Amino acid sequence: MKSQYRVVIIGGGVVGTSVLYHLAKFGWQDVCLLERSVLTAGSSWHAAGGIHALNADPNMAALQAYTIDLLSEIEAESGQDIGLHMTGGLTLAGTPDRWEWLQSAYRVFQSIGIEDCELLTPEEAQRRCPIMSTDGILGAMWADREGYIDTTGTVHAYAVAAKKRGASYFEHTKVEALEQTADGWRVITDKGTITCEHVVNAAGLWAKQVGRMAGVELPVSPLKHHYLISDSIPEIEALDFEVPMTVDLEGFTYLRQDQKGVLLGIYEVDHEHWAMDGAPWNYGMELFQEQTDRIEKELIMGFERYPCLQEVGVKTWVNGAFTFSPDGNPLVGPVPGKRGYWTACAVMAGFLQGGGVGKTLAEWMIHGEPEADAWPMDVARYGSFAENREYIRQTTGQFYSRRFVMTYPNEQLPAGRPLKMAPAYAEMSAAGCHWGVSWDLEVPLYFAPSEDFVETPTLKRSNAHPIVAEECRAVREAVGLLDITGFSRYEVSGPNAERWLNRIFATKLPKPGRARLAVALGENGKLKGDLTLLNWGDGTWWIMGSYYLRAWHMRWFDDHMDAGVSLRDLGEEMAGFSLSGPNARKVIERLSEDPVGDLPFMGCGRFDIGLIRAHVARMSVTGELGYEITCRMGDHAALRRALLKAGEGLGLREVGFNALLSLRLEKSFGIWSREFTQAYTPGETGMDRWIDWEKGDFLGRTAARAEAEGNGPARRLVTLKVADGDADASGYEPVWCDGRKVGFVTSGGYGHTVGASLAMALVEAGCAEAGTALSVHVVGVERAAEVIAASPYDPAGKAMRG
């Protein structure tokens, strides 16, 4: 072991060895992995080893598909047998809603390139898994690329392949402390001290302690997980093929063959945390005593689904710990504020996702950006609020217990909520507000007319649909009041602020007293933000964007910071409301003697609004005359009362973000994480029209210019009018042209003003012309669709600029 490496990886499980392998594969040989015990000690050695390409998140599905493809490569490269069994897999549906969801998911998988799936009847499913009962099964989905591997063999394959490429790993080497230096990190071990530029926390069950060594509180916790391995089963012994991986969603179980018996795993509702501050250092190859009382209900359902289990014994019980994040996705990437410190932990499905995690982190470290959009597993998707122990306990437990529970798009889950509430929260709740959550903040969805209204979870239009329609009508015909505390705000100042902003943004900067849409690009020329930049005219600028991206954007800003620039996140200090609609100006003029009503479109300034000194910008994403009013957090409740009083007789109505979805679709306004992501370019999303090619150099200019000067993007963002039904597209549904897949939906909903089901979609450039006839699958049902001109409501923008 040397005293200096470029990268030190802590943790010798499947994730750590995958990171080691990919760094070496991509050209960095001066890297080492340190394992306090032996490779696989922790969770890897006892994992069930199941693999499947299916995931409801397209980015995670692509990550899993990459991992599956990689497995045979590392087996060949290392010469290590990984025990790969590609049996195919079944996912069972036992309720009408689940069957409907499975049919919808089948179409989404087609959108993201997973073509080896098919829908089966219960009888067809049973032919592929003869040992299962079809009682209560309505249908199933089959996927070819499912199976299982030998977990110990796979970890050693990654490690051996990495070593062949020049990397090193050392067992029985415990990391005891980390010290940040001017140039990187000092890794203090029981075998000596190593200096390095980068440290990777791939410590699995010990990720919490290794985070704390660097002053980082990671939102992770281990939970216990059961599976059993049966004795040999005569029905399986009689088969000439292996039974497939089978997931019984209503039964909370998964099953695969194990020799001539089966492995039956359980995601029990009655979850149990363990060692929330991290596993003991001397833990590693141990298991817990099985807790059959805690898993009794799910165990009974499993034995009923596979009756042959009732006739044989249990050969082995496994009750081991795995580490989970609040949403079940990995925590990967550079930790904000800790240069050179990276995470690759909370990879609950390590053998399924570990290959993709290793690739992503290696690309990120070497090239500055991963090839694919890493947001679903980016460690920066959480902020300091997620360091709270009770928040971690509630959210990780909720995810575990709901691992196989169906979650509806309109369903609001309770764990870790409510946490942060704007000051007017209680008064808005009393007015009928139903809340969602963005990051840590409660945000309004809609205002119900009665106290006892309960929204029904559904894949289709819910019973809140008429309420949202009324809110949309109020905005279009009178004025809507929306709490916009859930917008992010960053203050930029200093002698070099303007120069820095010119480099950060591809857009022309606004003049004093004006605002402008600000497009940010990565070095690869792909999108990094669709933000709004406001020039207050006193040397101070604001950047506004999506609230849940606060840590992510602050990390990006900090990574590209210049001297002479001061940057401050105002998210804990500022709140606000927007007024949108033809009567918005009348409302605000009743409260101010300042010439706030004279603000031009995209103008901004500081004004007295009643008793409150506020930042006001004349803009709106509803397509109507609008004002965004930002105040101090403590003024929020008073501002709301003043606006409500001023709106009396003018038809003012409080509205939520569900109405905003409908209103912005009618204007073909895209939003981040839907129409705009790190995976998309300015050309294909239409954001190139905001780029100022004449100004000096800016981040991503070279790559964006190459796209602009080429043959044009292969796909374009369009607006679709979809034949009406009882549901609307929501995202990632496939778009077809004469039976050929030509794109996918980015977001969708119902346009209450235009009276049509709408969607925005990325489609092949040749199918982007208005009038092109297409079709879209919505909740599994194919519907006719047509490309329409952008902004079906008020295409000339007269209302917004009036």
Among 660, 659, 629, residue whose Cα is nearest residue 646: 629
Residue-level pLDDT at 152 = 98
Token pair of 202 as six digits? 């791939």
Summarize pLDDT for 407-423 with one digit per residue, the tens: 999 999 999 999 999 99
DSSP β-bridge partners for residue 490: 543, 569
Cα–Cα distance for residue pair 187/194, rounded to 1 Å: 5
Residue-level pLDDT at 58 = 77
Please tell me the pTM assigned to this model: 0.96
Q: Does position 54 have pLDDT exceeding 80, yes or no?
A: no
Mean pLDDT for the chain overall? 97
Among 621, 618, 644, residue whose Cα is nearest residue 629: 618
Cα–Cα distance for residue pair 756/475, rounded to 1 Å: 17
- On whether residue 518 sits in a domain, the answer given is no
Q: What percent of the chain has pLDDT over 70?
A: 100
pLDDT band of 61, cuts 50, 70, 90: confident
- On whether residue 9 sits in a domain, the answer given is yes
Over range 279-304, report the average pLDDT: 96
Residue environment code for 199-229, b if the CB has 16+ CB neighbours within 10 A, otherwise e:
bbbbbbbbbbbbbebbebebbbbbbbbbbbb
Cα–Cα distance for residue pair 73/18, rounded to 1 Å: 13
From 290, 324, 358, the end of a domain falls on 324
Cα–Cα distance for residue pair 512/540, rounded to 1 Å: 10
Q: Does position 711 have pLDDT exceeding 90, yes or no?
A: no
Q: Are 194 and 4 in contact (CB under 8 A)?
A: yes
From 324, 354, 382, the end of a domain falls on 324
- On whether residue 117 sits in a domain, the answer given is yes
Residue-level pLDDT at 53 = 78
Residue span of the structural domain in which 189 resides: 4-324
One-letter-per-residue 3-state SS of 522-563: CCCCCEEEEEEEEECCCCCEEEEEEHHHHHHHHHHHHHCCCC
pLDDT band of 597, cuts 50, 70, 90: confident
Q: Which residues contact 296 (CB under 8 A, 6 or more apart)?
A: none
Summarize pLDDT for 88-120 with one digit per residue, the tens: 999 999 999 999 999 999 999 999 888 899 999
Residue-level pLDDT at 245 = 97
DSSP β-bridge partners for residue 91: 141, 247
Summarize pLDDT for 160-176 with one digit per residue, the tens: 999 999 999 999 999 99
- On whether residue 633 sits in a domain, the answer given is no
φ and ψ at residue 427, rounded to 5 degrees? -70, -40
Over range 448-457, report the average pLDDT: 95
- The total number of structural domains in the chain stands at 2
Q: How far is CA 568 from CA 512, 544, 557, 616, in A?
A: 20, 12, 10, 19
- On whether residue 739 sits in a domain, the answer given is yes
Residue environment code for 2-41, b if the CB has 16+ CB neighbours within 10 A, otherwise e:
eeebebbbbbbbbbbbbbbbbbbbeebebbbbbbbbebbb
Q: Does position 67 have pLDDT exceeding 80, yes or no?
A: yes
57-66, 94-103, 561-570, 689-698 — which is least confidently predicted?
57-66
From 269, 298, 324, the end of a domain falls on 324
- On whether residue 707 sits in a domain, the answer given is yes
Q: Looking at residue 75, which CATH number applies to its domain?
A: 3.30.9.10
pLDDT band of 272, cuts 50, 70, 90: very high
Cα–Cα distance for residue pair 290/271, rounded to 1 Å: 13
Residue-level pLDDT at 479 = 98
- On whether residue 619 sits in a domain, the answer given is no
Cα–Cα distance for residue pair 727/710, rounded to 1 Å: 39
Among 524, 519, 502, 507, residue whose Cα is nearest residue 700: 524
Q: Are 530 and 517 in contact (CB under 8 A)?
A: yes
Among 191, 216, 184, residue whose Cα is nearest residue 201: 216
The SS3 assignment for 516 reads: strand
Q: What percent of the chain has pLDDT over 90?
A: 96
DSSP β-bridge partners for residue 520: 505, 529
- On whether residue 15 sits in a domain, the answer given is yes
